[in-house]
Amino acid sequence: MSDTRTVVLVEGVSDKSAVEVLAERRGRDLAAGGVSVVAMGGATNIGAHVGRYGPAGHGLRLAGLCDAGEEGDYRRALERAGLGSDLDRSGLEALGFFVCVADLEDELIRALGVAAVERVLDAEGELGSFRTLQRQPAWRGRAAHDQLRRFMGAGGGRKVRYSGLLTAALEPGRVPRPLDMLLAHLPGGRGR
């Protein structure tokens, strides 16, 4: 990280994968721009990472991505680090922190649409497994979008596996706002 000037703090490896895949699709070399994406192993680790990389630590520029449910954790950590006070969503965005509604998988499924996500599952040989989940009593009759979110969260490593694949399948104009805004905020600009 010796050439790093900006650290992007994300909750997990799946978020890191999505950011890196989108950057690559847009011809952005994050490392060459001095940007490192750090998967924190959960949103509750935000305070420690802001302390390590932010003003009281390495003094690097910070940015990030979080789920709506963890927005408060991010806000409090940034405020404790002296990066703002009484931060609201627009204040977070001004600092380079963008919030996914409800989470990144939700954003990607909405951006792609159910049919496109199912095509990705089919290409990976998992459409049959998804259909099995749809037939389970607890999930039968629920919206396909909700079933897909559950499917992504179930099973070893699906979130990590599919975040990059779903990001790669996005049409250029259909990138979820938090991902799009995060990349635009990083050194090197929009790069499409």
What mean pLDDT is predicted for residues 14-39? 95
Measure the CA–CA gap between 92 and 62, rounded to whole angstroms: 11
Sorting pLDDT into bands at 50, 70 and 90, what band is 1?
low
pLDDT of residue 192: 41
pLDDT tens digits, residue range 130-186? 999 999 999 999 999 999 999 998 877 899 999 999 999 999 899 999 999 999 999
pLDDT of residue 191: 44
- Tell me the whole-structure pTM to 2 decimals: 0.92
